[in-house]
Amino acid sequence: MNINRLLVSLLALSCTVGGAPAQSQGFPNKPIRLIVPYPAGESIDSVARLTAQHWSAALGQPIVVDNRGGAGGTIGTEAAAKAPNDGYTLLWGNVGPLAIGPSLYKKLGYDVVKDFAPVSQIANLPFVLFTSPVLPANTLAEVTAYARANPGKLNFGSTGVGSGLHLIGEMYKSQAGIDIVHVPYKGVAQALPEMMAGRVQLAFNTIPAFLPHVKAGRLKAVVITANTRSPLLPEVPTSAEAGMPTLIGASWHGVLAPAGTPKEILARLQQTLAAALAVSELRNQIISQGAEPVGSTPEEFGKFMAGELAKWRIVVEASGARAE
């Protein structure tokens, strides 16, 4: 190697070594864009905005929520994957595009493992099995027994093929050894009247959408697919308490950055998120949305995501679900 080539190589190395600290110094010094891959107004968006409000105070910079809905959350997720890895564009990640999507879609414009750096898991929104009031069953065991005695006669609704609400139903169907019929809808607003009329007898969903109808006696809540009960439905048993400890599923939320984001920036993001999640006001707001505040290190969140990818891959393959 001649002297000129050696000097060029050393210069490149010095830029590589010194780049991350220089890039990280004083971070953040401008607003941060948080991509939420779902439309504004959905429960996922609500939790994201609540968190962003408190997180921006800890960071000392505004956090601008950018809603990029479509294709089950994969459009916004792809946009985040292709953003600059400088910490100023982040993803509000969700189980759909990050744990279910890789098995559901033949082709995605991103690789969950290679294209993202986990920052922190924020919250879990456990699913609850709701039933029509006309169904003569009040516990999970009774629902299962009724389904076994009436194969193919019970319908369970969801917000679409391959959604988390569909796949948790497929998980229940498989674990319980029952034959129930999936009925996809475009949204909760279409499914609710069908349930209350008894034409659809079962549906898994998160708590906020169905809670008023449970309180009014128009629907019944049977089991929560989590390890702890919810303060919003304290009388509803967990999966383990109901006799099916592996029936676990949630619409979890977490923050991720594009791969290659400097570790110093990831650490700053995680530390300020932890500070925000330690504020009782934010924790109570998250709980009011039917969610469980979490908070984790990047390593913990990465391990959790790996487990979710493996779990939902099994369910997707067993159900035969494919993106429409």
3-state DSSP assignment of residue 324: coil
Structural domain includes residue 314: yes
Count of structural domains within the chain: 2
CATH number of domain containing 93: 3.40.190.150
CATH number of domain containing 183: 3.40.190.10
Domain that holds residue 93: 30-124+251-319
Structural domain includes residue 41: yes
Is 136 found in the same domain as 88? no
**Spatial separation of the C-alpha atoms in residues 323 and 71, rounded to whole Å:** 9
Is 309 found in the same domain as 258? yes
Is 147 found in the same domain as 86? no
Is 52 found in the same domain as 119? yes
**Spatial separation of the C-alpha atoms in residues 142 and 242, rounded to whole Å:** 10
For the chain, the average pLDDT equals: 91
Is 155 found in the same domain as 114? no
Structural domain includes residue 7: no
3-state DSSP assignment of residue 183: strand
Tokens 């000392």 sit at which residue? 60
Cα–Cα distances in angstroms (integers) from residue 83 to residues 33, 76, 256, in the given order? 10, 11, 12
pTM of the model: 0.88
Structural domain includes residue 299: yes
What digits encode the pLDDT tens for the residues 271-290?
A: 999 999 999 999 999 999 89
What pLDDT is stored for residue 24 in this prediction? 63
What pLDDT is stored for residue 16 in this prediction? 37
Structural domain includes residue 242: no
Query: 207, 224, 241 — which closes off a domain?
Result: 224
Is 104 found in the same domain as 75? yes
> Average pLDDT, stretch 160-166?
93
What pLDDT is stored for residue 18 in this prediction? 40
CB contact burial 166-200 (16+ within 10 A = b; e otherwise): bbbbbbbbeebebebebbbbeebeebbebbbeeeb
Q: Which residues lie below 8 Å from residue 69, measured CB to CB, with a gap of 6+?
A: 37, 38, 39, 75, 76
What digits encode the pLDDT tens for the residues 174-221?
A: 999 999 999 999 878 888 899 988 999 999 999 988 999 999 999 999
Is 211 found in the same domain as 138? yes
pLDDT at position 8 over 80? no
Structural domain includes residue 307: yes
